Structure 1
Amino acid sequence: MTDAEIVIEPVDGKTKAGRAAFVDVGRRFADETPNSVPQLRSEQLELLDPGRNPLFEHAEAELFIARRGGKPVGRIAACIDRIMLEMRPEQGFGPGTGIFGYFDAEDRPAAEALLAAAEDWLRTRGMTRVLGPISLSMWEEPGLLVAGHDHAPTVLMGHHPARYQGYIEGAGYEVAKRLFTYELDVSEDFPPLVRRIVQSGRRNPRIRIRPVDHANYTQDVRTVLHILNDAWSNNWGFVPFTEREIEYGAKKLKPLVREELTRIAELDGKPVAFMLALPDVNEPLARIGGKLFPFGWITMLRWLRKPRARTARVPLMGVLKEFHNSRLASQLAFMMISDIREDTTRVNGTTRGEIGWILDDNQGMIAIADTIESTINREYAIYSKAL
């Protein structure tokens, strides 16, 4: 086969048929990738629906499918997010920066053709730089898996064939940022140093650590996201949530946000930090093959009522900026993760924790991960290329 035999077809993402064709190509690749976990098709379709996902209130995207002899051999999405364009360049995005995501390719010629199509689409709209893969938000599945292919991903983490790294780097892309996830055995208590720090905090009458209150769920979610927007505001890759995205995210995550897996830290009655852990919904999804019908919905319903999960993932935590680089910040982090460890092992039978993603230069979080004796288990790369 030659490059000339590959045809790149734009897909109308505003139609159900277009979104379905694009999603189904990705699902075929996921089925063929060892250790990949099939996600719910309905959820994947919703993320691409401009009428349902508030991302598209400030972003536009073009979907492409590569075909050879009529057969789909890959897909890619190109996206311009107006909020990303407004960010400071030192935070990764900024004026002229577009992204690509949802990248799958059967071979190198297909990959090259797809990347070229995404680049051309961005270039014609005035973009001078492209980052990716980001599908299609930093809060969804950022980065390409470059280490850790030998085990399944946890909830909201991507999983890609090892060959994709060569395809992207071979097309002239360079690593802009690396993201790590860390794993640890939570069936055992933390090291003595961490236990002493936690006990000291528990004796401090100014500190209160509490779970998210489902009776005041909406208010607590807003509290968490207020802290997140402040705590992460200087981080590489940070993109603030809009009000509509807060409402949407709160609704989508509600079935997974559980009291034993969340904590808000208060100082003198003021919320100053939070930690959110999620039971690994990929465990039941793997059992049902990502299909609710005919009987998968029964498994999922039972699991959501009582999510017995071997693994819990901490995707988000934050401390208000005014406390960054202070002893209090790390103390609150250790107190929250210790409380969550105790509760999820007791309630959910959890034995394994995963923390991340964590930026490769986030020394504070890396120090916390090291102190609780966790180790890197997966590495993702976000690539950059001038257009």
Structure 2
Amino acid sequence: MPIHNLRITQLDPNKASDRSRLVKFAFKLHKSDPYWVPPLIGDRKKFLDPAKNPSFEYLKVAYFVAEALVIPENTPKGTITGGMEQDVGTIAAVINPRHNETHNDKIGFFGLFECINSHEVADALLDAAAGWLRGQGYNGMRGPATFTMTDEVGLLVDGFNDEPRILMPYNPPYYPELVEVYGLKGVMDLYAYKWDMIAQYGGKVENLPPKLVRVMEKLKQRGNLTLRKMDMKDWDNEVEKVKIIYRAAWEANWGAVPITDHELDHYAAEMKQILDPNLVFFVEIEDKTIGMALTLPDANFVLKRMKGRLFPFGIIQALRYQNKITWARVWALGVLPEYRHLGADGVLIYETAKSAMESGYRCMEGSWILANNVEMNRLIQNLGGMLYKTYRMYEMEL
């Protein structure tokens, strides 16, 4: 669509009306996309609020919106009658000092990238983010990351014919071209794997391949591995175990940044609302917790039907559909480095898949997995996982 008078305006992260503007644009842009899952508007506003998102205790962000006079397609050439000023894109520039300290670099990030299908608009938004980061003394820009590597990262570049699972991003197919034409280059791919437990195993544990069952049982016996589900009655202690595993298991990963206690407590509180204890496993050796797998019911199935609002009708939809969720997503799986030779990660996936089938889930996603994590990618494929989506992180020099 023809646009005129394009301009970029910097918004105030601490101003509620500005944050609301960012949220409203995403709803407007994607409202006709059958695969987009609208978040709860209230939750999204909290996520963008520096006073309520614990990551903002160390992050520094700048929000930008692109505005333009948009001319309807059927407007006679040479006239602008009927055009109207409207928002046509958003972006955030993000400084993460914890990333810079960990990786000894001057990389800044962009996120919250939403844009109409226009190179002119995309270029202006990316220019704004890059210029702001450059002005802060940064020499590179990476993204999208909204806002940390534990949140929404990467652009979907393959697998557009499906809805995103819980806490995974989604974008239209034209986004990758917008950022690539601008000059951003792919720096890391992130994979999502799928287990269709109906198609592969008929949804029954007894249909798992006998060889797989023998190997997994032998690994448990040989390593003296004990698997147990999360004890919801001992929540605080269980969360502390998750913190220990999470920090140790991910610290060497590409782009990883030590997560704060406040962040982990926040994630735990959010996830507790939807957690299925049948999908959370710890693996232990003589009462020492050496690994965990945290899998979440795909609440996106419910969110899509709530259309962004809890009231007045969203709560009705939530109650109606919460017991009809058929997907689960392995959000975090990790084993302490000194115990990885025991095969505990494979056992965790195996036990999670068994429990998911027994609980009535039809499909399971494992995501995201770094492309350079060769061992984990091979393990998942050997356990029947099928690569079905690819997300990409981009980077450029400033």
TM range (shorter): over 0.9
Q: Does 1:132 align with 2:143?
A: yes
Root mean square deviation of aligned Cα: 1.7
Give the corresponding residue for 2:115. Answer: 105
Separation (CA, whole Å) in 2 of partners of 1:190 and 1:366: 20
Q: Residues 262-285 of structure 1, C-alpha deviation per residue, up to 9 Å, x if partnerless?
A: 000001211001001100001111
User: Which residue number corresponds to residue 325 of structure 2?
Assistant: 309
| Counterpart mapping for 1:7-86 below 5 A | 7-69=7-69, 70-86=85-101
- The aligned runs of 1:100-179 (5 Å cut-off) are 100-106=110-116, 107-179=118-190
How many residues of Structure 1 are paired with residues of Structure 2 in the alignment?
Answer: 375
The CA deviation at 1:4 is 6.8
2:335 corresponds to 1:335: no
Distance 2:49 2:283 in 1: 36
1:233 aligns with 2:233: no
Correspondence for 2:338: 322
CA contact (8 A) 2:294 2:332 kept: yes
- Alpha carbons of structure 1 residues 79 and 226: separation in structure 2 relative to 1, 3 Å: same
**Residue 270 of structure 1 aligns with which residue?**
288
> In structure 1, how many angstroms separate the alpha carbons of the residues matched to 2:126 and 2:299?
31
Quote the Cα distance in structure 1 between the aligned partners of 2:192 and 2:223. Answer: 33
Worse-superposed segment, 188-197 or 100-109: 188-197
- Which runs of 5 or more residues in structure 1 are unaligned? 89-93
Cα deviations across residues 288-320 of structure 1 (Å, max 9, x unaligned)? 22321212113324655xx44211110210010
**8 Å contact from structure 2 (residues 3, 68) kept in 1:** no
Task: Check whether the contact 1:313–1:356 (CA below 8 A) recurs between aligned residues.
Answer: yes
CA distance in 2, matches of 1:80, 1:190: 47
Distance 2:187 2:387 in 1: 19
Per-residue Cα deviation, 1:171-219 (whole angstroms, up to 9, x for no partner): 1111010001000122424433321122224445832111111111121
Specify the SS of the correspondent of 2:31: helix
2:232 — aligned with what? 214
| 8 A Cα contact 2:4 2:68, kept in partner | no
Tell me the residue number matched to 1:91: none
In 1, distance between residues paired with 2:169 and 2:190? Answer: 12
The verdict on how the C-alpha distance between 1:205 and 1:173 changes in structure 2, with shifts beyond 3 A counting, is: closer
Q: TM-score, normalised by structure 2?
A: 0.90
CA–CA separation in structure 2 for the residues paired with 1:185 and 1:278: 16
Could you say if the C-alpha distance between residues 193 and 239 of structure 1 is closer, same or farther in structure 2, counting changes exceeding 3 Å? farther
Q: Distance in 2 between matches of 1:190 and 1:81?
A: 44
Aligned to 2:78: none
Task: Describe the shift of the 1:253–1:20 C-alpha distance in structure 2 as closer, same or farther (beyond 3 A).
Answer: same
Retained in 2: the 8 A contact 1:183–1:355?
Answer: yes
Q: 1:363 deviation in Å?
A: 1.1
Alpha-carbon displacement from aligned partner over 1:323-347 (angstroms, at most 9, x marks no partner): 23x1x1x3x2232222222222222
Find the aligned partners of 2:9 and 2:67 in 1 and give their Cα distance: 8
Q: Conserved in 2, the CA contact under 8 Å of 1:3 and 1:109?
A: no
Conserved 8 A contact 1:100-1:132: yes
One-letter amino acid matched to 1:55: S
**1:153: how far off?**
0.7
The question of whether the paired residues in 1 share the 8 Å contact of 2:36 and 2:164 is answered with yes
Q: Is the 8 A contact 1:275 1:318 kept in 2?
A: yes
3-state SS, counterpart of residue 368 of structure 2 = strand
Taking the aligned partners of 2:260 and 2:141, their CA distance within structure 1 comes to 23
Alignment correspondent of 2:367 = 356
Contact 2:295–2:332 (8 Å) recurs in 1: yes
Secondary structure in structure 2 of the residue aligned to 1:32:
coil
**1:386 matched to which residue of 2?**
397
Matching residue's letter, 2:40: L
How far off is 1:113 after superposition? 0.2
Find the aligned partners of 1:3 and 1:112 in 2 and give their Cα distance.
14
In structure 2, runs of 5+ residues without a counterpart are: 70-84, 202-206
SS in 2 for 1:83: helix
Q: Cα 1:190–1:83, aligned 2, differ >3 Å: closer, same or farther?
A: farther
Counterpart-to-counterpart distance in 2, 1:126 and 1:3 = 33
Does the 8 A contact of 1:33 with 1:160 survive in 2?
Answer: no
Q: Which moved more, 1:23-32 or 1:224-233?
A: 23-32
Equivalents in 2 of 1:262, 1:289: separation in Å?
28
Identity of aligned residues (%): 31
Matched AA of 1:95 = D
* Residue 223 (str. 1) matches residue 226 (str. 2): no
1:283 and 2:294 are equivalent in the alignment: no
- C-alpha distance in structure 1 between counterparts of 2:107 and 2:50, whole Å: 21
Give the equivalent residue in structure 1 for 2:274.
256
Equivalent residue letter for 2:303: L
Where does residue 73 of structure 2 map in the other structure? none
Whether the 8 Å CA contact 2:195–2:386 is kept in 1: the answer is yes
The 1-side partners of 2:194 and 2:39 are apart by 22
TM-score (norm 1): 0.93
The answer to whether the Cα contact below 8 Å between 1:130 and 1:386 also exists between their aligned partners in 2 is: yes
SS of structure 2 residue aligned to 1:293:
coil
The one-letter code sitting in structure 1 at the alignment partner of 2:243 is: L
- Partner AA of 2:32 in structure 1: E
